[in-house]
């Protein structure tokens, strides 16, 4: 099903279709990681017939068996020669791996959808959230990037509002789960939580890298501005996706002891006042957004509830009492799904539906 948002009428158009992604051969670089595993889980449930999958990872993981549907697939070592028979390559690995593997995949005739930061701000590479700027896939030159997992829910909420009432400024404070740093950090949270359960915080200081029972106001390296690279990414990526470099954006990104789902407290300043009811209606009409906003009934988005869900959830929508043109809201989304794996598959679907991605080979031979 493809959903399109009309910012003029505030309605969505729904066109029933199942893009033939199952006809493609898809390589997954980083198949054994947290995002790669989520990608495979989504593929299992999203398509009635599974596409042909080629699972790739580092030499440490080569030889492992992963079951997808009823298929037992052997993980191969990712090399620059892995992509000759592949239509689309999903990469969720380090920037160094992306920079090495993506050009090789493009040279082999594949389209690359990259989950890392290596190409996001490259002017020749589209940075895409299909519900917002799906048309940008038209000008790709072999590589398409997806945004950082903290950027995606922010732009999903900003997009329908910005088209009706131009946004001037956004201040976002994020509460990001450990899965955003990979499976290793998830294991670390579990180990630390058990080991430090009875520790006395009055007599001991936090350990280096401690996330259990802690909150860490740093994600990625610090820059000369005092912001972290994660915070800079949110600003630059949001402006690029929204085609709105004029929007001023400031973020503070914080790691919290939650396994899955990122949350954000977002303050938006508009060109003119916007009432809560209008914002709620626009957000409810936005494909991929779910409004959960009944504070009196204890109904608002929380990480536990968003985990495993495809939508971005928004609640606690209210007037900003510090600014007449401001609104405040609370966002939560599964960072492994819409923040990464699902968005990548939706880009592939967008490419297929626009005729920009076709299988190299069909049952009858070369396509």
| pLDDT single digits (tens) 320-346 | 999 999 999 999 999 999 999 999 999
Would you call 253 a catalytic residue per the annotation?
no
Q: How many CB atoms lie within 10 A of CB 126?
A: 23
Question: Which pLDDT band holds residue 1 (cuts at 50, 70, 90)?
Answer: very low
d(CA 263, CA 252): 12
Rounded to whole angstroms, the Cα distance separating 26 from 98 reads 16
The pLDDT tens digits of the residues spanning 146-164 come to: 999 999 999 999 999 999 9
153-209 confidence digits (pLDDT tens): 999 999 999 999 999 999 999 999 999 999 999 999 999 999 999 888 777 888 888
Q: What gap in Å lies between CA 183 and CA 227, rounded to an integer?
A: 25
Which long-range contacts does 189-195 make (Cβ < 8 Å, 24+ apart)? 189/257, 189/259, 193/257
* pLDDT band, very low/low/confident/very high, at 268 (cuts 50, 70, 90): very high
Tell me which of 361 and 226 has the higher pLDDT: 226
Name the region of 220 (left: φ>0; alpha: ψ -120 to 50; beta: rest). left
Structure tokens given for 167? 């946004």
Distance of alpha carbon 336 from alpha carbon 219, whole angstroms: 17
Question: For residue 14, is pLDDT > 90?
Answer: no
3-class SS of residue 346 = helix
- According to DSSP, the β-strands at 361-362 and 326-333 are unpaired
CB 332 within 8 A of CB 302: yes
CATH 3.40.50.880 is right for the domain spanning 151-196+206-335? no
Q: Report the SS3 class of residue 344.
A: helix
149 is an active site residue: yes
pLDDT at site 310: 98
Choosing from 140, 162, 253, 262, the catalytic residue is 262
As annotated, the residues of the chain forming the CATH 3.40.50.720 domain(s) are: 2-147+340-366
- 299 DSSP 8-state letter: B
Residues 140, 149, 162, 253: which is the catalytic one?
Answer: 149
The owner of tokens 């819409």 is: 338
pLDDT of residue 205: 86
**pTM, two decimal places:** 0.92
pLDDT tier, 113 (very low <50, low <70, confident <90, very high otherwise)? very high
Rg (CA), the chain: 21
- What average pLDDT score do residues 305-311 get? 98
Every domain of the chain with CATH number 3.30.360.10 lies at: 151-196+206-335
Q: Thinking of the domain 2-147+340-366, which architecture would CATH place it in?
A: 3-Layer(aba) Sandwich (3.40)
pLDDT at 298: 96
Any idea of the CA torsion for 329, 287, 44, 48, to the nearest 10 degrees? Answer: 160
Q: How far apart are CA 111 and CA 15, in angstroms?
A: 25
pLDDT of residue 191: 96
Average pLDDT, the chain: 93
Measured CA to CA, the distance from residue 367 to residue 363 in angstroms comes to 9
Tell which residue, 6, 11, 17, has the closest CA to residue 353: 17
């Amino acid at each position: 099903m493809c959903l399109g948002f009309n910012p003029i009428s505030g309605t969505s158009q729904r066109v029933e279709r199942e893009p033939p992604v199952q006809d493609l051969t898809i390589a997954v670089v980083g198949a054994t990681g947290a995002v790669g595993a989520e990608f495979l889980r989504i593929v299992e449930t999203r398509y009635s017939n599974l596409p042909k999958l080629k699972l790739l990872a580092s030499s440490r993981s080569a030889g492992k068996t992963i079951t997808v549907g009823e298929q037992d697939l052997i993980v191969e070592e990712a090399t620059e020669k892995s992509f000759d028979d592949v239509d689309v390559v999903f990469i969720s690995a380090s920037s160094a791996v992306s920079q090495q593997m993506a050009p090789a995949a493009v040279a082999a005739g594949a389209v690359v959808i990259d989950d890392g930061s290596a190409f996001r701000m490259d002017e020749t590479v589209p940075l895409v959230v299909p519900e917002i700027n799906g048309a940008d896939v038209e000008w790709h030159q072999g590589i398409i990037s997806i945004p950082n997992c903290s950027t995606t829910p922010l732009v999903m909420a900003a997009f329908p509002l910005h088209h009706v009432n131009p946004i001037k400024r956004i201040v976002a404070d994020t509460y990001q789960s450990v899965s955003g740093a990979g499976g290793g950090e998830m294991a670390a949270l579990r180990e630390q939580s058990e080991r430090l359960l009875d520790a006395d915080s009055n007599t001991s200081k936090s350990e280096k890298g401690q996330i259990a029972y802690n909150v860490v106001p740093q994600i990625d390296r610090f820059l000369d501005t005092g912001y972290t690279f994660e915070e800079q990414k949110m600003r630059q990526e949001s402006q690029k996706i929204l085609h709105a470099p004029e929007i001023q954006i400031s973020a503070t990104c914080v790691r919290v002891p939650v396994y899955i789902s990122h949350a954000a407290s977002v303050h938006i300043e508009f060109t003119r006042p916007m009432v809560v009811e209008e914002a709620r209606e626009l957000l409810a009409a936005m494909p991929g957004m779910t409004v959960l906003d009944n504070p009196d009934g204890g109904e608002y988005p929380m990480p536990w509830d968003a985990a495993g869900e495809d939508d971005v959830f928004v609640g606690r929508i209210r007037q900003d009492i510090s600014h007449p043109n401001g609104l405040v809201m609370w966002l939560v989304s599964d960072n492994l799904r819409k923040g990464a794996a699902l968005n990548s598959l939706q880009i592939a679907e967008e490419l297929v539906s626009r005729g920009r991605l076709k299988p190299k080979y069909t049952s009858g031979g070369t396509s």
